[in-house]
Chains A and B, each alone.
Chain A
């Protein structure tokens, strides 16, 4: 044997940053070009894993938003709405291909800006984003077969505001269906993760997309507000917190703007005693520790049947001991950085409340880097429905474990939340799976799997998790005048 090593410790395997060409500062992407702000300012975007400043980005003002909406309107009126579906589709196919070609560059940039592990940005975010464009490209000239009448019409200009958890993927979820159906867009990426959206602007340029069809305005809440409240938009699509979703809902009251909202969740992952336990444990891990738990459909409430609770928990803890937390660019990292200082505070606060309320807190031995924003995978046991950690969306790597005795108790507890985005069911009994799938009030039910996504699969919530669907035939409705 070489060296004195007795355990299999993995040497650092960092993905090279060289593939990314960061500019010191970025303007806004309006009407096909990067332009300087009119009435905005600048802010810095940092790498959450090191707090290193990555670039300076524009905080767009109301007049910038005006300009972007005007560009989108002009593009809608003069080019995009006049183009045949077939030609629109070809642009989207081009975009899909360019995203694939530049996949590694996007993955590295996403991990730098967001803090997520490179293996997730490389194997999930970016390929799915490309797939989303490829899927919707094919719809562009087939809309008359989509079940919305013989000649469904686009809405016009879509204002789209997306979150920081899957920056490029959420961009794809928004832009691909909007463009396929013939709308033009103004998109605002989250303030902590603007860089892949700005790189996407370059993709639009490489694809020769007509100017103004896609416009990217960066900024924070006020920029988003100016965008969704703009008088010349026809559609608002928002993914983010339920609180902000409600504000947008109110601000659109009385207008003719069409709205879809994809909001928070508090998903239940239900494990029955006849479950495939090893895969269920993987599903629990994937359900709540994927992307540091920054997932609206995360399975943050583990509901485990009492008869196997101890067994499942033991397995889960052993498995969590193998998670590797650290440098997002290391190819072996499982858990990356929390996206922002602000989010870290929220996770810490809610976790402390969980502890104060009497739940048992456990984390594997896990060394946290000194710089950057980090939170260890955390499991709370002995949680009851009344605990805040069982009710509030934490949006972090924190799992609350509850138990149940019967299927009806599981349904009752799973549905006992204002949210209704996702749920998981683990059992080898087919009829129980279908029973649970029917009873769970959630937009996505994963049975014997969790956190799968696909452009052909409609995604969206019940109740306060929002309305409207993204993906599949169903997702087209949000951008059509039907």
Chain B
């Protein structure tokens, strides 16, 4: 543990945190009772993370589905405020995240700081979108007839997010925020090797007015959990960003209930995009359905 910052007092033994899952607003261990060793960028032991099972995934989907009516039914203004609140709480725990991200990704405090800052700012960016995206993606359609016709974007439902493998916080936030901004709920499988900032981010969510079940965080293996999420008939969409080599296989499984699939956005060398790049609307558009309503106009 030599690389970890020393305890404030040399004669006091540090109280370590148990990294658990975040499901339905609670922090359970894996129902399987399993854990796996998480190491820092230099191979040092950091913690034992819960090794989520397919049953944990199932429970997380149930929690996400249960949270969907409330979250999607909340006003967009309210969702925006809740997501902004997440940014506030993240800001207040900035130093903790700089430390965790730095250790997980092997970054200098300065570099880790800029990543945490970008994560906070990303949440603020999406928070502001909550009550504007409907105007940008929706509107009235000039049909030829005595009808008023309008289209609105609506959340797709429960989204499985396979978070980026190489960006433990900014990548995670960049994938989760757009999903919940439009009213979806989600089950997130974190980076397999750098899961700890995500679990701590769960604590941020838990203390920032995000209703339980809106974001559910699982730590574990893509190979073990992702196939069950991809095939789950009550999951409406899947973000394959962190799926790695399993992407094609997961896409096949996702066909069973015609899931919306967001394929990994890789650069020409097959690497994850630089998450610091300013986002556009792609991720917001990926998990909304356009609903079009017709009504006659007449006296």
Contact = CB atoms under 8 A, between A and B. Distances in A.
A443 interface: yes
A482 interface: yes
Contact of A445 (B282, B294, B296): B294
Interface in A219-264: 242, 245-247, 249-250, 252-254, 256, 261, 263
A21 to B, nearest CB: 31
Nearest to B249: A253
Main secondary structure of the interface of B (DSSP, over half): mixed
B292 A458 contact: yes
A472 B151 contact: yes
Contacts of A249: 251, 254-255, 258
Interface in B111-142: 136-137, 139, 141-142
Nearest to A149: B280
Contacts of B254: 249
A449 B147 contact: yes
B291 A442 contact: yes
Interface string A422-460: 000000000001000100001111111100101011111
B258 A474 contact: no
B285 A449 contact: no
B258 A242 contact: yes
Contacts of B285: 477
B295 interface: yes
B258 A466 contact: yes
Interface in B247-292: 247-252, 254-258, 260, 263, 280-282, 285, 289-292
A291 B138 CA distance: 30
Given A442-B291, A443-B289, A458 B255 contact: no
Nearest to B294: A446
B294 A452 contact: yes
Interface string B172-215: 00000000000000000000000000000000000000000000
Nearest to A482: B282
Contacts of A261: 258
Contacts of A457: 141, 143, 149, 151, 292, 294
A454 B255 contact: no
A433 B292 CA distance: 13
A277 to B, nearest CB: 15
Nearest to A437: B293
A458 B290 contact: yes
A254 B264 CA distance: 10
A32 B254 CA distance: 38
A254 B247 contact: yes
A136 interface: no
A131 interface: yes
Contact of A433 (B149, B248, B289, B295): B295
Contact of A462 (B145, B151, B256, B289): B289
Interface string B212-236: 0000000000000000000000001
Nearest to B282: A482
Nearest to A131: B144
Contacts of B137: 147, 474
Contacts of A467: 258, 260
B251 A454 contact: no
Contacts of A14: none
Contact of A253 (B143, B252, B281, B292): B252
A20 B156 CA distance: 46
A247 B260 CA distance: 15
B182 to A, nearest CB: 14
B277 to A, nearest CB: 14
A474 to B, nearest CB: 5
B255 A250 contact: yes
B282 A474 contact: no
A358 interface: no
A469 interface: yes
A127 B249 CA distance: 43
Q: Among B141, B257, B281, which residue has the most Cβ atoms of chain A within 10 A?
A: B141
Given A245-B258, A472-B151, A253 B293 contact: no
A472 B144 CA distance: 13
Given A458-B151, A467-B260, A246 B255 contact: yes
A459 to B, nearest CB: 7
A454 B149 contact: yes
B292 A444 contact: yes
A330 interface: no
Contacts of A147: 136-137, 281
Contacts of B296: 448-449
B295 A253 contact: no
Contacts of A465: 258
Contact of B294 (A242, A418, A447): A447
Contact of A449 (B257, B282, B295): B295
Given A131-B144, A447-B293, A452-B145, 16 more contacts: A242-B258, A249-B255, A253-B255, A254-B247, A263-B258, A437-B293, A447-B294, A448-B296, A449-B295, A452-B294, A456-B141, A457-B143, A457-B151, A458-B290, A462-B289, A463-B258
5 contacts: A449-B295, A449-B296, A457-B143, A466-B258, A472-B151
